[in-house]
Amino acid sequence: MTAEVLSCVAQPSAGVTARACLLPRQEMEAAAATLAFDAKNYHAWAHRQALVAAWDLWDEELAFTEAVLADDVRNNSAWNQRFFILTRGGPQQPAQADAGLADGTEPPPSPPVVIDAELSYVAAALHRAPDNASAWAYLRGLLTSPAGTDVSLQVDKVPDLCFKALQRLPSCTPAMDLLSEMYRARAAAALQHDDVATASLAMQHAETLHAALQVADPLRHPYWKFTNETLTLNTGKHEQDQVY
């Protein structure tokens, strides 16, 4: 069955019979049956990725990931599949993304409206499990996309999401880690404009979070201690501590 599907993809001009048109659906159902038995089966997820990209099934697969995550919000494979959909196809631009994949170029990024909707989706997932490492990794992925670098996300929406997670789980290390990174980025941006006061305040917040991380995550205490000691942005406080 799989060979016939791949043949249809490789030779679309040869004509696709009515039976062959049903094969992608059958293959998707077969992969879904595998995932019902083993929801983190990498081979089944990879097979669905190939079918989705070849047969323009982006919207359907997005709904499928929602169903899987509703059952297990910590399923990292489902989060990875969702990221694949939004960065390789997306619910609003499948045709464009398909063309990008075909000619070897990168597909167009997800528009800001999609990123904004996904932030709400992540927020709901983190409400269920604030320390869900998979959801936090997905969020970080969104923030690395062109639309995810929007200032309003970095300044307002994402920090608010982190603070809400910390309200529910004060020891939520992913939230503290992401907040610390954002404060460091804010400090670096302030220093570029010679705003030492803002930079110093942001660094204080980052250092406070790193100190809290050493307590909340004792297993990685040496790592958090090391990263806290390396928070050296060229402020007077850090420069005078350097040994030449």
pLDDT digits (tens, 9 = 90+) for 152-189: 566 678 999 999 999 999 999 999 999 998 898 888 88
Q: Which of 178, 190, 129, 133 is nearest to 153 (CA)?
A: 178
pLDDT attached to residue 226:
85
Q: How many Cβ atoms sit within 10 Å of the Cβ of residue 40?
A: 14
Candidates 144, 145, 175; CA nearest to 158 is 175
Poorest-confidence range of 49-58, 115-124, 161-170, 225-234? 225-234
The residue among 160, 185, 157, 176 whose CA lies nearest residue 216 is: 176
58 in Cβ contact with 90 (< 8 Å):
yes
List the one residue out of 90, 114, 89 whose CA is nearest residue 99.
89
Query: Is the predicted pLDDT of residue 205 greater than 80, yes or no?
Result: yes
**182 vs 206: CA distance, rounded Å:** 8
pLDDT at 234: 44
Residue 24's pLDDT band, with cuts at 50, 70 and 90, is confident
Look at the block and give the residue holding tokens 């000619």.
Answer: 103
Residue 170 vs residue 12, higher pLDDT: 170
Question: Over the chain, what is the mean pLDDT?
Answer: 80
Q: What's the first-to-final CA gap in the chain, in angstroms?
A: 68
Rounded-to-integer distance, Cα 57 and Cα 166, Å: 37
d(CA 202, CA 164): 19
Higher pLDDT, 3 or 162: 162
- Average pLDDT, integer, range 99-113: 54
